[in-house]
Amino acid sequence: MDAQPITNTEIYAILESVRRTTPLIQCITNNVTVNFVANTILAVGGAPAMVDIPEEAEVFAAVSSALYINLGTVHADQRMSSLSAARTAKDSGVPWVLDPVAVGMLPVRTALARKLLSYSPTVIRGNASEILALAGHKGAGRGVETGNEVDQSCEAAMELARQSGATVSVSGPVDLITDGNRILRLKNGTDLFTRITGAGCALGGVVAAFCAVAPAFEAAVAANAVYAVAGELAASTSAGPGTFQVHFLDALASAALERDGNQVSLA
Amino acid sequence: MDAQPITNTEIYAILESVRRTTPLIQCITNNVTVNFVANTILAVGGAPAMVDIPEEAEVFAAVSSALYINLGTVHADQRMSSLSAARTAKDSGVPWVLDPVAVGMLPVRTALARKLLSYSPTVIRGNASEILALAGHKGAGRGVETGNEVDQSCEAAMELARQSGATVSVSGPVDLITDGNRILRLKNGTDLFTRITGAGCALGGVVAAFCAVAPAFEAAVAANAVYAVAGELAASTSAGPGTFQVHFLDALASAALERDGNQVSLA
Amino acid sequence: MDAQPITNTEIYAILESVRRTTPLIQCITNNVTVNFVANTILAVGGAPAMVDIPEEAEVFAAVSSALYINLGTVHADQRMSSLSAARTAKDSGVPWVLDPVAVGMLPVRTALARKLLSYSPTVIRGNASEILALAGHKGAGRGVETGNEVDQSCEAAMELARQSGATVSVSGPVDLITDGNRILRLKNGTDLFTRITGAGCALGGVVAAFCAVAPAFEAAVAANAVYAVAGELAASTSAGPGTFQVHFLDALASAALERDGNQVSLA
C-alpha cells in the first residue's frame, strides 16, 4: 500500500531534532568522498566520526548514536571493521545504514554486502542497480552509476525490505522509499547531484544521522526530503558542479531550510 | 620534427566525444586528491570509478574505457592493484595513463614506475623532474614539486616516448607533449594550478578520459588544452586558490567551453 | 608567568618567512581531511608532501623542513610510518608537530600518542579533551569533538609542555599556547571553524610549516594567529560552511593578510 505522505512539519521536526541533539555518527566509508560525507553530516547538525580501523571500530560502534557503512572502497581493514561494527550496532541497538556502492558488478563487495545484511541494517540506501543486485535480481550497474530506472527496482526494493527488515531507499530522479509495506516517492532534487562525486554517499550519512532521532522509514523519508530540497536551493544559485557542492553545504546548514519550510513533494 | 598544431575544432571535437560517450575511467590514485580527480573527470563528461583494491582492480580494468594510475601514495595494496590492472589493460587493449608522482626521489615508487613501464602505458604525464627521473636522467624534484624547467626535459621526454611507446606529457608553465617524433608546446594555463593540490593528478585523469575516445598524442594534446583553457577562464573570476578550484570545475563542466571555442595556443 | 604578547609585526614576519622559503612539510595525516591540510599548507606558502607509507616515510623525514603527524585515522601502515618518521625527525633535528586526534577515548591512538611523545615533538596541538587525556588527566572527548573548555586544560597543558619539552597549543573559542613557562591566549577566530571538518588538522599543518622557520612557541602563536585572522576575514563573506572553507583558503593565501596587518588579539 502507498503511505500517507509525511507532512512538511514532521520532516523539519526531525531535522531540528538532529540539530538539537548533535548525534554522534560513526562512518566507515570510502576514501573518495569521506570529506564530503563528514561536512554534510556536520551541515545537518550531526557529529561525524570516521572511526574505521579494525582495532577501534567495534568499541566506537557501541557508543555511537548511529553508524554508516559505505562499501565504496572496501580495503581489507574496512571489510573487517564493517562486519564487527555492524554486529556491535545490532547487539547494542544502534541504528545503522548500509550503502552497497557498486554491489552486483564487483565480487568482493557483493559478498560483503550479503554478510552485512545478516546484521539487520536499519536502512539500505543505493541506486536502482545496487538495490536490484542486493535483492538477487540482475542489475545493470556501470561502475558507481546505475543502469536502471528507479521504478524498475520497486518490487526488488520491497522484497529486500521484507527480507532484511530494513527500510530501503532508492535514489534517482524520483527517489523511492519503502519499508516493504509503505511506499513513498519523492520528486524533489536536481540533476547536479549526478555531476559531483559523493552525492549518494553523503545522503547515506544524512540518513544515518536522521536514524539517530527517528524511526527508520520516517528518518529515510525526512533525510531524502531535506537533502533534495537543499539541493534545489543550491542549484538555483550555482554555475556548475563546483559552486553547487559549496552552495549545497551552505543550504543544508542554513536555518532557513526548516524556517521557510520549503515544499517537499511526496506521493 | 615539430608537429602541425592540432586545430581548435579538433580539440573540442574530442571533448564532445567524451561528453557524448561517458567513458568509464578506472582510477588507482592517491588519497590526497582522489575527490578532485573524480570531480574533474565528471566535469569533462567521463564516469570515474575509483576501483583500487587488489581483489577488484584487475576485473574492472578489463571492462573500463580507460585506466589512470597515479603513484602519489602507493600503499602496498595500490602497488599490487596497479601492476595487475596495468597488465590487464595492456592485454585487453584498454588505454592507460601513468602519473609517476615524485618518482626519482623516493625508492618504492621509482621501482614501481619502472615495472609499470613494461605494460606499455598509452600516455605518461608528469612534471619535468619526474619525466627526467623516469627516463633515467638526474632530476631535481622536491617532494611533489619539480626542480626542473620543462625545456630541460625535452630530450628525456622524447627518449622516454621512443623507449616506452607512450606519448609523454610534461606539465609546467608551458606544457610539452611528444610521441617521440612529434613535439607540441602549449602556452595556455594559469599559475593558480600550482597553488592547489592535485592539479597534475586531475589532469592525468582527464588525459585518461580523452584516451578513451582518441589516439594517444591527440588525446594528450586535447586534454592539456581543454584543461588549461578552463583554468584560464576560472582564474579570471577567482580571488585565490579556494575559489579557483571551485570555478575551475564549473568552467570545465560548462558547455560554453567548446561552444565558444576559446583559443588554444599551440606551437 | 604570562608571556609578553608577540607583536603583529613579528607574527606577519614569520608568515613572510614561510612564503619566502617554501618549506617542505611532510604530513602523515588522516584520509578524511588530507586534501584540506595540503591546500592549507599551500595557502600559507609551504610545500606539502603527504609521504606516509612505511617504506618511504623515514627517508623523507630526514630531508623535510618539518613533519606533521596527525592521528585521525591511524591504520597499521600509518602507525609504523609515524613512529619511524618521528624518530628520524628527532635524530635529524627536523621540527615536528603532533596532533593527537581523539586521544583518550580510543585505545590504539592513545598508546601510539604516548610512544610518540618519547620522540620529543616540537609542538603538540589539540583540543582541550585531547590535551587533558595526553597529560594523563580525565578528559570528556566525544569522537573528534572536545567535551572540555580550553581553560580546564590550562594546568594539564603546562604539565604536558614541561614533561615533553614541547610547546602545547590548545584550540577552542579562545586558543591557549604554552611552553610550560609562558602562556598566551588568542581571542581571534570564528565559530565556523567548528562547522567544517579538518579545521584543527589544517591548523596543525600550518603550525608545522611555521616551525620550519621559527622557534616552537613563536611559531605556534603566529600560526594560530594567522589562521584565526584568515578565518575571521573568510567568515565575514561566507553564507555557510561551504563558502567559508573556500573563502578561508583565499584569505590565507592572500598577500593582503600580512600587508594589512589585521589585528591579532593576544593576552
Can you tell me the mean pLDDT for A207-217? 98
- How close, in Å, is residue C145 to chain B by CA atoms? 23
Residues of chain A with C-beta less than 8 angstroms from the C-beta of C246: 246
**Which among C36, C144, C145 has CB closest to A35?**
C36
Yes or no, beta carbons of C34 and B32 under 8 Å apart? yes
What is the Cα–Cα distance from A171 to A127, expressed in whole angstroms? 5
The CA-based diameter of chain B, rounded to the nearest angstrom, is 47
**Chain B: residue whose CA lies nearest to C234:** B242
**B-to-C residue pairs, Cβ atoms closer than 8 angstroms:** 88
Which percentage of chain B shows pLDDT scores above 90? 85
Instruction: Give the range among A28-32, A89-93, B59-63, B259-263 with minimum mean pLDDT.
Output: B259-263
* pLDDT tier for residue A196 given thresholds of 50, 70 and 90: very high
Residues from chain C that touch A81, judged by Cβ atoms under 8 A, are none
pLDDT exceeding 70 applies to what percent of chain B?
98
Binary contact (C108, A56; C-beta < 8 A): yes
Nearest chain B residue to C51 by CA: give it.
B73
| Cα–Cα distance measured from residue C220 to residue A221, given in angstroms and rounded to the nearest whole number | 47
Q: If you classify domain B8-259 with CATH, what class do you get?
A: alpha beta
- For residue C160, the model assigns a pLDDT of 98
For residue B6, which of B204, B226, B254 has the smallest C-alpha distance? B226
How confident is the model at residue B109, as a pLDDT?
Answer: 94
Contact C253 B195 (CB under 8 A): yes
Between A203-207, C18-22, C220-224, C258-262, the lowest mean confidence (pLDDT) is in C258-262
pLDDT surpasses 80 at B248: yes
In Å, how far is B46's CA from the nearest CA of chain A? 10
Contact C35 B144 (CB under 8 A): no
Contact B143 C48 (CB under 8 A): yes
Tens digit of pLDDT for each residue in C29-85?
A: 999 999 999 999 999 999 999 999 999 999 999 999 999 999 999 999 999 999 999
Instruction: Specify the range with the lowest mean pLDDT, choosing from A165-169, C91-95, C148-152.
Output: C148-152
* Amino acid in the structure at residue A255: A
Mean pLDDT of A48-69: 96
Residues in chain A within 8 Å Cβ distance of B31: 31
Give strand pairing partners of B169: B125, B177
Q: pLDDT tens for residues C95-124?
A: 999 999 999 888 899 999 999 999 999 999
Paired with C70 in beta bridges are C99
**Annotated binding-site ranges of A for substrate:** 50, 198
Specify the pLDDT at position B95: 98
Whether residue B125 is annotated as binding a ligand: the answer is yes
Reported as a pLDDT band with limits 50, 70 and 90, residue C147 is confident
Touching A: which chains, 3+ CB pairs < 8 A? B, C
The pLDDT, as a whole number, for residue B2 is 58
Would you call A245 and C240 a contact, using CB atoms and an 8 Å cutoff? Answer: no
Q: What is the DSSP letter of A45?
A: T
Place of cell 520516517: A218
Q: Are C102 and A49 within 8 A, CB to CB?
A: yes
Model ipTM over 0.85: yes
Q: What is the pLDDT of residue C234?
A: 97
Mean pLDDT confidence for A47-56: 96
Closest chain A CA to residue C195: A42
Please give the grid coordinates belonging to residue B137: 636522467
Angstroms from C23 CA to nearest CA on chain B: 10
Confidence of residue C5 (pLDDT cuts 50, 70, 90): confident
Q: Which residues of B touch C243 (CB under 8 A)?
A: none
For chain A, the residues whose C-beta falls within 8 A of a C-beta of chain B are: 30-33, 35-36, 72-76, 102, 106-109, 142-145, 195-198, 238-243, 245-246
pLDDT mean across residues, chain B: 94
| pLDDT confidence of residue A141 | 74
Q: Which string of DSSP letters, residue by residue, matches A119-187?
A: T--SEEEEEHHHHHHHTTS----BTTB--S-GGGGHHHHHHHHHHH--EEEEESSSEEEESSS-EEEE-
Work out the pLDDT band at A2, boundaries 50, 70, 90.
low
Interval B108-120: pLDDT, tens? 999 999 999 999 9
The arrangement of secondary structure in A16-252, i.e. its CATH architecture, is 3-Layer(aba) Sandwich (3.40)
Lowest pLDDT segment from A169-178, C72-81, C143-152, C200-209: C143-152
Pairing of strands A175-178, A167-171: antiparallel
How far is the alpha carbon of B152 from chain A, nearest alpha carbon, in Å? 35
- B239 contacts in chain C (CB < 8 Å): 247, 250, 254
C125 annotated ligand binder: yes
